[in-house]
């Protein structure tokens, strides 16, 4: 049934729209309300015998390629916050190229939708040789990644067919938020934060439904941008990964140059590109970085930047510099889960841009769903 496009024209479109259901499946049986101490807990069966080792590791190394790397990057801050273990990021091919140091005391977390990406598997062999505890996060039961890692979590997002990954991305983030909760354990000092995240997770499917209502608005925006050469996406903090992932979607399916930019680096190069022609998406939803993003918007506006600002519902007036920017409003959720909501308008934008520009949505030229050769 999942293989059928149903009422949709393309698999990518279907997979974007089925995210309320895929996220529900990802969380099914894993978030337990109540329990002995009445607080809510997370149960990840595939990790339970290894949580102590992960907690005691000297660092956690996230490894992946493409969208899976971006999902890991989105999850890095919450894993660091709740576990207290430093997290470093590795693009799989680069780890292998450098033969970067991996130690017995490391936990290496491999993220791959297919579980068959050659670079990720090679990095896994390398980490196994070096004695790290290897954890797999994949959508594919029985994949090489699932078989070769010591333990792991299936994301259970359902079969993903479109080459551009969409629902697997949001499910990966949710799994890594649950991993952060599981590794963080039930320290009293974290209790309120943990409960807020679990409530946020449970609310996600309905909030994703709300974001999907932006479909027409994103189509209108795509019509405006149809002939552009380039699109920049600025983000920071939890949403740096959203900027990279939004830009990757636009690049890989709409075949438009697009770059995700860490807003904190704006003055170190990107600002030179800003003029009244180049469209720029700025992600400025409410979190600890909000006021910094407001200032970025002011500075881009002062250079006549053509801005499209993504903000929290009700914040239009505080981000649109006197109504001069186009605004995309999304619902608010706990900061570490906000990337799940924020990426969706960008997935929809990439989808509509692709259709309007007449490109192949599900099979972009030169790309493969799973890159099994090097």
Looking at beta carbons only, is 161 or 327 nearer to ligand G6P? Answer: 161
Looking at beta carbons only, is 177 or 328 nearer to ligand G6P? Answer: 177
- Name the token pair of 351: 């989808």
Looking at beta carbons only, is 110 or 290 nearer to ligand G6P? Answer: 110
Residue 60 near residue 79 (C-beta atoms within 8 A): yes
Looking at beta carbons only, is 39 or 363 nearer to ligand G6P? Answer: 363
What track of x and - describes contact with ligand G6P for positions 309 through 338 (by CB under 6 A)? ------------------------------
Tokens 């505080």 found at: 318
Separation of alpha carbons 362 and 347, rounded Å: 13
Q: Which of 13, 26, 41, 117 binds ligand G6P (CB under 6 A)?
A: 117
Total number of residues that touch ligand G6P (CB under 6 A): 16
Separation of alpha carbons 335 and 188, rounded Å: 20
CB of 201 to ligand G6P, least distance (A): 22
| C-beta nearest to ligand G6P: residue | 66
CB of 85 to ligand G6P, least distance (A): 23
Looking at beta carbons only, is 149 or 312 nearer to ligand G6P? Answer: 149
Looking at beta carbons only, is 89 or 202 nearer to ligand G6P? Answer: 89
Looking at beta carbons only, is 26 or 120 nearer to ligand G6P? Answer: 120
Span 350-369, contacts to ligand G6P by CB under 6 A: 367, 369
Span 129-188, contacts to ligand G6P by CB under 6 A: 163-165
What track of x and - describes contact with ligand G6P for positions 67 through 86 (by CB under 6 A)? xx------------------
Burial class (CB within 10 angstroms; exposed 0-12, middle 13-18, buried 19+) of 35: exposed
For the chain, give percent helix, strand, coil, nearest 5. 50, 15, 35
Three-state DSSP class for residue 369: coil
263 binds ligand G6P (CB under 6 A): no
Computed over its alpha carbons, how large is the radius of gyration of the chain? 20
Burial class (CB within 10 angstroms; exposed 0-12, middle 13-18, buried 19+) of 183: buried
CB of 31 to ligand G6P, least distance (A): 24
Q: Which residues of 336-374 are buried (b: 16+ CB within 10 A; e: fewer)?
A: bbbbbbbbbbbbbbbbbbbbeeeeebbbbeeeebebeee
Which backbone phi and psi does 321 adopt, to 5 degrees? 35, 70
Cα–chain center distance at 121: 21
Give me the residues that bind ligand G6P (CB under 6 A), please: 65-68, 112-114, 117, 120, 163-165, 367, 369-371
């Amino acid at each position: 049934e999942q293989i059928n496009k149903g009422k949709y024209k393309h698999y990518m479109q279907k997979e974007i729209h089925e995210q309320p259901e895929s996220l529900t499946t990802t969380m099914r049986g894993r978030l337990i309300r109540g329990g002995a101490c009445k607080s809510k807990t997370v149960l990840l069966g595939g990790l339970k015998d290894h949580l102590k080792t992960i907690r005691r590791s000297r660092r956690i190394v996230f490894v992946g390629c493409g969208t899976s790397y971006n999902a890991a990057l989105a999850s890095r801050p919450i894993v660091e916050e709740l576990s207290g273990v430093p997290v470093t990021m590795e693009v799989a091919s680069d780890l292998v190229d450098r033969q970067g140091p991996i130690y017995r005391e490391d936990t290496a977390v491999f993220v791959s939708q297919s579980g068959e990406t050659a670079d990720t598997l090679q990095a896994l062999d390398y980490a196994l040789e070096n004695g790290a505890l290897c954890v797999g996060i994949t959508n594919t039961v029985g994949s090489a990644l699932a078989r070769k890692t010591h333990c792991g979590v299936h994301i259970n997002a359902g079969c993903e067919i479109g080459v551009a990954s969409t629902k697997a991305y949001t499910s990966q983030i949710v799994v890594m938020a649950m991993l952060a909760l599981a590794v963080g354990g039930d320290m009293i000092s974290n209790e309120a934060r943990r409960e807020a995240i679990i409530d946020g997770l449970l609310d996600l499917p309905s909030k994703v439904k709300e974001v999907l209502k932006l479909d027409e608005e994103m189509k209108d925006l795509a019509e405006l941008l149809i002939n552009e050469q380039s699109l920049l996406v600025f983000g920071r903090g939890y949403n740096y990964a959203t900027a990279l992932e939004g830009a990757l979607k636009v690049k890989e399916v709409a075949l438009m140059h697009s770059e995700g930019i860490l807003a904190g680096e704006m003055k170190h190069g990107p600002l030179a590109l800003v003029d009244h022609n180049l469209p720029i998406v700025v992600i400025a939803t409410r979190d600890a970085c909000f006021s910094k993003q407001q200032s970025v918007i002011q500075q881009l506006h002062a250079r006549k930047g053509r801005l499209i600002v993504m903000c929290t519902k009700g914040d239009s007036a505080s981000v649109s510099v006197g109504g001069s920017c186009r605004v995309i409003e999304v619902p608010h959720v706990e900061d570490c889960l906000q990337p799940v909501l924020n990426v969706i308008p960008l997935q929809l934008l990439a989808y509509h841009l692709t259709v309007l520009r007449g490109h192949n949505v599900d099979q972009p030229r030169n790309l493969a769903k799973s890159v099994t050769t090097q």
